[in-house]
């Protein structure tokens, strides 16, 4: 039988696993670049979650919210992430990364993109700006793989955050 299964989508990661493996290698390189740029895992996960929220990718939200909680992120900050601009819960570097995330995910008018980039550049080094940009590009690609393939989200046990971290004292 050719084409997608009846009523379903082709899981493109399984149809062309070599392409998906290459995408996973890109993600590993991006994680290394983020680490080398001095970006902590919490900021990286906030970027992954915010882009996935904007794209409506349930699979990536499931993966990255759980990773954020395991890394010490608080449920309060995750709950208000869609309204991050209206809180004081995020430090300047996180806010800069979130501005860039939203701009690169939604691709507004080029003048707005330039303003967003300039705002982010006030709080992030060029190396960090580049790393955040690669994080956004990478999570957007994974969002599209999961959305196109209709990857399901299965119920799992709750994640218990660690006892203490910078965001979970």
The pTM of this model reads 0.90
Ordered DSSP codes for 125-137:
-HHHHHHHHHHHH
Report pLDDT for 166.
44
Report pLDDT for 94.
98
Q: What percent of the chain has pLDDT over 70?
A: 89
Spans of all domains in the chain: 15-149
Name the residue with higher pLDDT: 37 or 6. Answer: 37
Superfamily holding 15-149? AhpD-like (1.20.1290.10)
Farthest CA pair distance, the chain: 56
| pLDDT, mean of residues 72-94 | 98
53-57, 142-146, 159-163: the lowest-pLDDT one: 159-163
Query: CB–CB of 52/143 below 8 Å?
Result: yes
């Amino acid at each position: 039988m050719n084409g997608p299964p009846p009523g379903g989508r082709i899981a493109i990661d399984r149809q062309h696993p070599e392409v998906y493996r290459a995408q996973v290698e890109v993600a590993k390189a991006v994680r290394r670049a983020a680490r080398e740029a001095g970006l902590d895992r919490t900021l990286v996960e906030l970027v992954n979650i915010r882009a996935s929220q904007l794209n409506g990718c349930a699979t990536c939200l499931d993966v990255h919210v759980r990773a954020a909680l395991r890394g010490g992120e608080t449920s309060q900050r995750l709950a208000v992430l869609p309204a991050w601009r209206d809180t004081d819960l995020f430090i300047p570097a996180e806010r800069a990364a979130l501005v860039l995330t939203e701009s690169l995910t939604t691709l507004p008018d080029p003048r707005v993109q330039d303003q967003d980039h300039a705002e982010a550049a006030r709080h992030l080094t060029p190396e960090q700006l580049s790393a955040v940009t690669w994080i956004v590009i990478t999570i957007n690609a994974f969002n599209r793989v999961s959305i196109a393939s209709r990857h399901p989200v299965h119920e799992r046990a709750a994640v218990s955050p660690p006892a203490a971290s910078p965001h979970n004292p």
